[in-house]
Each structure stands twice: as C-alpha cells, then as structure tokens.
C-alpha cells in the first residue's frame, strides 16, 4: 500500500543556541481507505499537537499575568513617582506583547518564529528607549519617591514574575519562540528584585538617587536582552536559509 510522507520543519524544536541541530518531524498522511491503526505517524502528530496546545495554554496564562502587573505597576509608578517602577511597568507591557506574538506563531515554521523574535528584540529596545526618557525626565525634575508604594508594588510584581518563570521553565531550552519568552520572564525576575532593592535604598538613605540608579541598571539590562534575542534570531534565520538553499539543489 502506498504511503505518502510530508515533512514539516515548522514543527521542529531546536536548542536556542544550536539552531543548526534541526530534526524534522515526519507526519504520515494515510491513503484513502487506510485505517487509523495503520498510520504509524499519527501518534507523533497527536503528540506534537498536544505540545502546541500546552504551549498556547502557558502563553495565555503569562500574557494575562503580565497585563495585570502592567496596570498595577503603572498605577504604582504614578502614585510613588518612581522611575524604576515605571521601567518595570513598561517591561511588563513589552512582555505582554511578546507573549501575544509567541502565541501567534506556535506551530509556525522556524523561520517565522525567528522573524517574530526579531520583532520581540525591537519591543525590548523600545522599552529601553522609554526607560531612558523616563530617567532623563526624573533627572530634570528630581524628587523623593514614596518607598512604601515602591516596595508593595515591587513585591507583588516579583511574585507574579516568579509564577511566569515557573510556567515557562520547561521551555527554556526549546525553540526560539518559547526560549525568547522565557528570557523575557527571567529579565522580569531580575527587574522585580532590583526594584525591591531600590525601594529599600530609598528608605535607608532618604534620597531618590537609588531609584534612578536601578532604573539605569534596568536600561542596560534591556539593551543586553534585546541584543541577545536579536542575535539568536539572526542565527536561526541564517540556519533556515542555509537549509532552504541545500534542499533546493
């Protein structure tokens, strides 16, 4: 009985830093009249579909968490006048957009995921620019932020970020789509811890410079993260182009 095989590179999963190690998942389509039990590739196809459904469920959860923490952090930043809280709120907004993009390309080709990762890097860069503008405004209009509001908001934000990191932990070494989402979540944990330190330092020293110092540190963290995500995405794109060129010969 004739059997037809179809290769789907978009369903492959590779290590973030080893884009060249790509293994195709083979899905077998039965001929007319073939029983389901005769299709040896159906089990693998269903397994991939279950994996993608689980990925979507996790991304929906972290998306909802980041939207809620963005609203909370923005209100707290406005109330306390904290530059580091403003940085954190913009980071949460950028992460929510990142997770929405990740949802859109679950099950897509690796090349599509790499292009979306490039867009994620652009979002992170835009957040860094917004943070830089906030720092400049605070330097021009110095004042002492309310450390009570900073501390409470930072603790809530850190707890939410730890939940997101736990949800994305199994995918940290997956394809570039989920791995870049996990990298954003890891940055959020660093950011949440840094804002807590800023609130403590403002309380101890009775000055606003620790808040600005942490905001600058977060700015540098965003720039580093944008560079790492963009570099990994570029490597993945080059790898996919090389594969496409080799298969077309």
Return the beta strands (E) in the chain as ranges. Answer: 4-8, 25-29
Q: How confident is the prediction for the chain on average, in pLDDT?
A: 76
Kindly state whether residue 66 falls inside one of the protein's structural domains.
yes
Asked if residue 216 and residue 173 are part of one domain, the reply reads: yes
What CATH number is given to the structural domain containing 148? 1.20.1510.10
Q: What is the DSSP letter of 24?
A: P
What pLDDT, on a 0 to 100 scale, did the predictor assign at position 2?
Answer: 42
As for how many domains the chain has, the answer is 2
Same domain? 196 vs 161: yes
E-strand stretches of 54-93 = none
Q: Which domain holds residue 125?
A: 54-247
Q: Are residues 190 and 234 located together in one domain of the fold?
A: yes
Greatest extent of the chain over all pairs of C-alpha atoms, in Å: 81
CB 135 within 8 A of CB 198: no
Co-location of 150 and 62 in the same domain: yes
Q: Is residue 208 part of a domain?
A: yes
**Residue corresponding to tokens 């409470």:** 152
Query: Are residues 30 and 136 located together in one domain of the fold?
Result: no
Residues 9 and 103 in one domain: no
Say whether both 10 and 132 belong to one domain: no
Sign, Cα dihedral of 194, 205, 146, 125: negative
Q: Mutual orientation of helices 42-80 and 83-104 as an angle, nearest 10°?
A: 160
Same domain, yes or no, for 166 and 239?
Answer: yes
Note the pLDDT tens digit of each residue in 116-170.
778 878 888 887 888 888 888 888 888 788 888 888 999 999 999 999 999 988 8
Is 19's pLDDT higher than 50?
A: no
Q: Within this chain, do residues 27 and 59 fall inside the same structural domain, yes or no?
A: no
8 within a domain of the structure (yes/no): yes
pLDDT digit string (tens) for 103-118? 877 777 777 777 877 8
Considering the domain boundaries, does residue 201 fall inside one? yes
Q: Do 34 and 70 share a structural domain?
A: no
- What the block records as the tokens of 166 is 């736990």
pLDDT (0 to 100) of residue 25:
31
Query: What are the residues whose beta carbons fall under 8 Å from the beta carbon of 190, sequence distance 6 or more?
Result: 221
pLDDT at residue 84 tops 70? yes
Question: Are 132 and 186 within one domain?
Answer: yes
On whether both 30 and 78 belong to a single domain, the answer is no
pTM of this prediction exceeds 0.75: no
| CA–CA distance, 151 with 73 (Å, rounded to integer) | 11
């Amino acid at each position: 009985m004739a059997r037809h095989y179809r290769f789907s590179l978009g369903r492959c999963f590779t290590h973030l830093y080893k884009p060249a190690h790509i293994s195709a998942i083979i899905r077998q389509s039965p001929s007319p009249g073939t029983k389901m039990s005769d299709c040896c590739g159906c089990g693998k196809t269903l397994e991939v579909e279950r994996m993608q459904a689980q990925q979507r469920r996790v991304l929906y959860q972290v998306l909802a968490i980041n939207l809620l923490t963005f609203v909370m952090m923005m209100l707290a930043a406005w109330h306390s006048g904290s530059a580091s809280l403003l940085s954190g709120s913009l980071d949460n907004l950028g992460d929510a957009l990142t997770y929405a993009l990740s949802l859109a390309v679950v099950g897509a080709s690796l090349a599509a995921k790499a292009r979306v990762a490039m867009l994620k890097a652009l979002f992170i860069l835009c957040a860094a620019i917004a943070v830089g503008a906030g720092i400049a405004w605070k330097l021009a209009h110095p004042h002492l932020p309310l450390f009570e509001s900073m501390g409470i908001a930072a603790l809530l934000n850190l707890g939410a970020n730890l939940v997101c990191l736990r949800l994305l932990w199994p995918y940290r070494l997956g394809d570039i789509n989920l791995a870049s989402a996990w990298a954003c979540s890891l940055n959020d944990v660093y950011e949440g811890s840094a804002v807590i330190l800023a609130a403590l330092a403002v309380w101890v020293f009775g000055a606003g410079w620790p808040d600005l110092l942490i905001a600058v540190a977060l700015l540098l963290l965003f720039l580093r993260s944008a560079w790492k995500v963009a570099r990994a995405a570029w490597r993945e794109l080059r790898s996919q182009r090389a594969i496409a060129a080799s298969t077309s010969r």
